[in-house]
Chains A and B, each alone.
Chain A
Amino acid sequence: MKLIDKIYDLMDNKKYKYSTFAAMFAVMALLPLFLDNYILNVLWNAMFYMLLALGLNIIVGYCGMCDLGYAAKFAIGAYMTGILIKSFNWNFWLTIPVSILVSIIAAILVGAPTLKLRSDYLAIVTLGFAEIVRITARNLEITGSAAGINSITRPDFFGIHLTKISHWYYVFLILVVLFIFISSRIRNSRFGRALTYIREDEDAAQAMGVNTTRYKLYAYIVGAVLGGITGSFFAVKMTSISPGSFDFTQSANIMLAVILGGMGKIPGVIAGAAFFAIFPEVFRDVPIVGNMRMLFFGILLIVVMITRPQGLWPERKQRK
């Protein structure tokens, strides 16, 4: 705990921020040399959740919108890539722009009519949309029905055929760095400040001339695009995808990772996602407890919400 606090303080400190970050990146980059495949896979899973959590963080953490259907956003990316590779023999790298495009269209279709409604309605609409996506994937022929899409070809990257777990470890590590970069650039931009304003007080933001509906839609689109990209990479890493991976539990998990870590703060979100991916692994082999881990998780969630409503590592208010 103390160590985490220390790292966290360092990340907050302007002077040491970049060097701390670089040091952590270096440690992460060297890890595959020492660790076995099982642990690498757990870490890969943690990074996968980090990507999803960073994407959702734009929607929930920056803008304060409640999205309970984030699994649908990454399902769209995963299925686009899966279908294009499997049924149309596309190159993986070319499917990413398509995933992004479809994510944008889906986000506009869902977001444009609903983002100006009451915030709770957004929660239920996103949840409903996620169910629509999942059930559609389960019913259609092209998405492989309930069995999903199997044996998706893995891509090449400058002549390296990406098959080993360590390859994917590095791919996702680069993605995490990229997503952190995007998130922090947004955070410190005019757009990011507008989102924070909307989260803190939507009426005041509107009164100050922020076009709240439009900015909320932008945030929603950015979140969906990041989810779509993650989905595309998920599809080729796993080589098989099925509707079961995109159910409500998945959306709730991503949401909880963001909330638990501390909405809006990038290190908090990353820590939340890492905790979320590693916590079940630790308890997996313990009998009885293994089955009850989600039960403990529920209790933990309530305790955290009551004692620290802003999450474990919340964003500090910039000025009182």
Chain B
Amino acid sequence: MSFWEVILQQIINGLILGSFYALIALGYSMVYGIIKLLNFAHGDIYMTGAFACLSVFGVLSGLIPGWPGIILSIVAAMIFSGCIGYLAQRFAYRPLLGAPRLSLLITAIGVSLIIYNSVMVVTNSQPLFFTSGIDNAAGIQIGNITITYIQIILISVSALLMIGLTLFIGRTMTGKAMRAISLDKETCKLMGINVNKIIGLTFIIGSALAAIAGGLACVYYGNVQYNMGYTIGIKAFTAAVIGGIGSIPGAMLGGLLLGLLEAIGTQFLGSSWKDVFAFGLLILILILRPNGLLGKSEIERM
């Protein structure tokens, strides 16, 4: 492979990785935008999505094999993870909405510990393997570069979801309510918006998006493990910060950018340094553009 072909292949890999980051980063950004919480458990929600998809497909694959089965499993995973996200919000975060920000953050770490350790105990710390019966390697060959069908599906699904979410936030009444709450919760209550319901919905949507990413990761990588959400969770948060936290297009841009830079960084620095590269980038961007690439500057209220 020539130099440019290597770069091109890495760009494709980067876009795949970036799509995962972007889908998870959206959940971080939505939750942060609306209640200013760094939802530490979000990476673990992604992990539960992958496990739910794997378990449902394990049951379904005898009846509905192939893509229809996978799609149904991912939908089931969305419902499952959406419920977990809602429950976390209802029982752990809502009672603390007026409390100091630090307490809310600690609670999020508590939720993360609960999800992480429950799955660890249930699966006995062993990875589970996903056999979809789909040929993962099949794809289009252009010169020396391979783009598999599953990669194409992955990128298009995430692109569609992002467009859909942008329209939802921008065009519907519910989306408008979400944007209003992120500006001023108290006034929203006075205007007759059911604030708690909208916050709950935000968690459900964010968790469902993470579950889609989890389900796709499960199909793409072929195995799931209880600790799969940790690093990707931090990376996705990094992506959200790079793009400007609270901004939906920012989360997508940040995710894709981080994925691309990481893939290219891996090519030149070796895979053992790729996380150093990603976090170094985070610190650098925060120094140069404290509000992220697309974020608005805002005055912090304690």
Chain A interfacial positions (CB closer than 8 Å to B): 60, 64, 66, 110, 113-114, 117-121, 123-125, 127-129, 131-132, 135-136, 138-139, 201-203, 248, 252, 255-256, 259, 263, 291-292, 294-295, 297-302, 305-306, 309
Q: Is the CB of B273 within 8 A of A298?
A: no
**Which of A121, A131, A295 has a CB less than 8 Å from the CB of B114?**
A295
Question: Are A294 and B117 within 8 A (Cβ)?
Answer: yes
Question: A306 and B38 in contact (CB under 8 A), knowing A121-B286, A295-B113, A301-B107?
Answer: no
* Residue of A120, A125, A305, A306 ringed by the most chain B CB atoms within 10 A: A305
Q: Determine whether the beta carbon of A128 is less than 8 Å from that of B117.
A: no
Bound Cα distance from A309 to B107, whole angstroms: 10
B66-122 with Cβ < 8 A to chain A: 91-92, 95-96, 99-103, 105-107, 109-114, 116-118, 120-121
- The answer to whether B282 and A119 touch across the interface, beta carbons within 8 angstroms, is no
Main secondary structure of the interface of B (DSSP, over half): helix
Chain B contact residues (Cβ within 8 angstroms of A): what range?
A: 35 or more
Residue in A117, A121, A139, A298 whose Cβ sees the most chain B Cβ within 10 Å:
A298
CB-CB under 8 A from A295, the residues of chain B are: 113-114, 117-118, 121
Q: What is the predominant secondary structure among interface residues of chain A facing chain B?
A: helix
Chain B min CB distance to A9 (Å): 25
A sample of 25 cross-chain residue pairs with beta-carbon separation below 8 angstroms, ordered by A number, consists of: A60-B102, A64-B102, A66-B102, A120-B36, A121-B241, A123-B38, A125-B282, A125-B286, A128-B234, A128-B283, A129-B279, A131-B275, A135-B275, A201-B302, A255-B106, A256-B106, A263-B102, A295-B121, A297-B110, A298-B109, A298-B112, A301-B106, A301-B110, A301-B113, A309-B99
Minimum Cβ distance to chain A for residue B10 (Å): 20
A-contacting residues of B (Cβ < 8 Å)? 32, 36, 38, 91-92, 95-96, 99-103, 105-107, 109-114, 116-118, 120-121, 230, 234, 237-238, 241, 245, 272-273, 275-276, 279-280, 282-283, 286-287, 290, 300, 302
Partner of B238, one of A124, A255, A263, A297: A124
Q: Which residues of A contact B32 (CB under 8 A)?
A: 120
In the bound complex, what is the Cα–Cα distance between A302 and B116 (angstroms)?
15
Name the contact of B38 in the complex, choosing from A124, A128, A135, A305 (C-beta under 8 A).
A124
Partner of A124, one of B118, B237, B280: B237
User: A128 and B282 in contact (CB under 8 A), knowing A121-B290, A295-B114?
Assistant: yes
Q: How far is the CA of A305 from the CA of B105 in the complex (A)?
A: 10
Partner of B276, one of A66, A123, A132, A263: A132
Closest 5 CB pairs of A and B: A298-B113, A128-B279, A301-B110, A298-B114, A295-B117
Contacts A118-B290, A129-B279, A301-B113 given; 16 further ones with Cβ under 8 A?
A114-B283, A117-B286, A119-B300, A120-B101, A123-B38, A124-B234, A124-B282, A128-B282, A132-B280, A139-B273, A201-B302, A263-B102, A298-B109, A299-B110, A301-B109, A309-B100
Tell me, rounded to whole Å, the shortest Cβ–Cβ distance linking A250 to chain B. 13
Which of A127, A248, A302 is within 8 Å of B111, CB to CB? A302
- Residue contact A124 to B241, C-beta cutoff 8 Å: yes
Smallest CB gap from B32: residue in A = A120
Q: How far is the CB of B119 from chain A (nearest CB, A)?
A: 10
A295 to chain B, nearest CB (A): 4
In the bound complex, what is the Cα–Cα distance between A295 and B36 (angstroms)? 26
Cβ A305 vs Cβ B237 within 8 A: no
| Chain B residues whose C-beta falls within 8 Å of the C-beta of A309 in the assembled complex | 96, 99-100, 103
A15–B121 CA distance with the chains assembled, in angstroms: 50
Minimal Cβ-Cβ distance residue in B for A247: B230
Q: Which residues of B contact A306 (CB under 8 A)?
A: 92, 95-96, 107
Shortest beta-carbon distance from B95 to chain A in Å = 5
CB <8 Å contact, A299 and B96: no
Nearest B residue (CB) for A308: B103
Question: B283 to chain A: closest CB distance in Å?
Answer: 6
Are A132 and B107 closer than 8 Å at their CB atoms?
no
Contacts of B290 in A (CB 8 A): 117-118, 121
